[in-house]
Amino acid sequence: MKFNRKILPDSNYSSKFISKKRLHEDEIDFDLLRSYRLDRVKKELAKRDIGACILFDPVNVRYALDTTNMSIYNMHNLTRYCFIPVSGPVILYEYFNCGHLAKHLTLIDEIRQGITWDYFSVGDQVENQLKKWTGEVENLMNLHCGKNKQLAVDVSNGPGILALNKIGLKIIEGKEILEQARKIKSKEEIQCMKASMEVCEKGVRLMGKELKAGMTENELWALLHKTNIESGGEWIEGRILSSGPRTNPWMQEASNRIIQQNEIVSFDTDMVGPYGYCADISRAFVEGHKFNSEQKKIYQMAIDHIHHNAELIKPGLSFKEFVAKSWVLPEAYYGNRYPCIVHGIGLCDEWPMVKYPTEVTDEKGQFEKDMTITVESYIGEVGGEEGVKLEQQYLIKENGLELLSHHPLEKI
């Protein structure tokens, strides 16, 4: 299926019906955004002498081709994917009767209906559908990759990988390839990320303004979600917001618990906003906005934690050296530590994930210019009453970090 294409910033918007432009839409060169990202995928494949990749993960498909369709649904159903060779046509395999959604995208050479062997979709016809799918893949590899039988796949299931092995292909882990492609951001990606952050911080301000005793955690959390959706955002990766005693230990999602007077409310936005980019900051408020002495103590520790670690980071610093110099979390708080102290950020949480000294971190990795990262802190004493979660998002520049998250920390 081929199309005459008109360029729009997003496949899910028709210019005929748009009454308001999305945030910074006129400032972003979408042609450059798309060509940069697809080129990075192809270069990572070529560097490893891999003939092609098949991408199922909706985030990776979005990165490579800037096309979306029911992203959450397709995170757990193998019904939509793309084929990208180093040399040759890029083919999107779209969900049933949805080819029109991506018809404007010039980097997609052809759109075909996806061949799925997902049990939900085909029931007892799994084996027959697998034969159709592997036959199609074999044909594409022969046509566009010649003798190169290395194929990268990011997400699949056991039967799918076994079937590809049976036709003589060497299957390569595709997640590493896409994570390495995604790690260095272009100017256009940074513009998209800043647009998403503006929406996120609008929602966070609203949460701070509306927070009051008597409302539930879910009611407070819904303000961020509403702000994101009405501003052209997409989804939120988790619902991590808790109040009072539910803030310690960390990682509890929002509930119908009623927020009480003078309690800490901590949350992590994990917000996939406009243009598919993630705004990932964490904040801690106190109901009534007056910290008691213990709340001040743990909040200040979280600030010190983030500031110390952020000041260390610059291009060329190895993860190993960074961990050795990082802020030392006191022993009483170590058992409740967050899973990492730094992670990459882009369309969602990305490589690297830099952990505490006792954990496993990529020993060969290093920070690089134009990476975007978040610096994390959770402070909650083991057995303590409350905890503070703070997180800031940064762009790595030539001589240090540029802060991308501008919602102020609390005055204590």
343-367 residue pLDDT tens:
999 999 999 999 999 999 998 999 9
pLDDT (average), residues 246-250: 98
Q: pLDDT tier at 21 (50, 70, 90 boundaries)?
A: low
5 has a pLDDT exceeding 80:
no
Are 154 and 174 within 8 A, CB to CB?
Answer: yes
Fold for domain 25-182? Creatine Amidinohydrolase; Chain A, domain 1 (3.40.350)
pTM equals: 0.93
- Residue 321 contacts by C-beta under 8 Å, 6 or more apart in sequence? none
Q: How far apart (Å, rounded) are the C-alpha atoms in residues 244 and 226?
A: 24
pLDDT tens per residue across span 88-102: 999 999 999 999 999
Same fold for the pair 25-182 and 187-403: no
pLDDT (average), residues 56-80: 97
Q: pLDDT tier at 23 (50, 70, 90 boundaries)?
A: confident
H helices of 183-292, where? 187-210, 217-230
- Residue 327 contacts by C-beta under 8 Å, 6 or more apart in sequence? 304, 305, 308, 309, 341
Verify cis geometry, omega within 30 degrees of 0, for the bond prior to 9. no
Q: pLDDT tier at 25 (50, 70, 90 boundaries)?
A: confident
Q: How far apart (Å, rounded) are the C-alpha atoms in residues 351 and 373?
A: 9
Tell me the residue ranges of DSSP E strands in 5-145.
Answer: 52-55, 81-85, 91-94, 110-113
Residue of 217, 215, 221, 218 whose CA lies nearest to 203 = 221
Q: How far apart (Å, rounded) are the C-alpha atoms in residues 37 and 42?
A: 9
pLDDT tens per residue across span 177-235: 999 999 999 999 999 999 999 999 999 999 999 999 999 999 999 999 999 999 999 99
Number of other residues whose CB lies within 10 A of the CB of residue 278: 26
Which CATH architecture describes the domain 187-403? Answer: Alpha-Beta Complex (3.90)
pLDDT tens per residue across span 268-306: 999 999 999 999 999 999 999 999 999 999 999 999 999
Residue 150 pairs in a beta bridge with: 170
Q: How far apart (Å, rounded) are the C-alpha atoms in residues 266 and 298?
A: 12
Domain residue spans in the chain? Answer: 25-182, 187-403
pLDDT (average), residues 366-378: 98
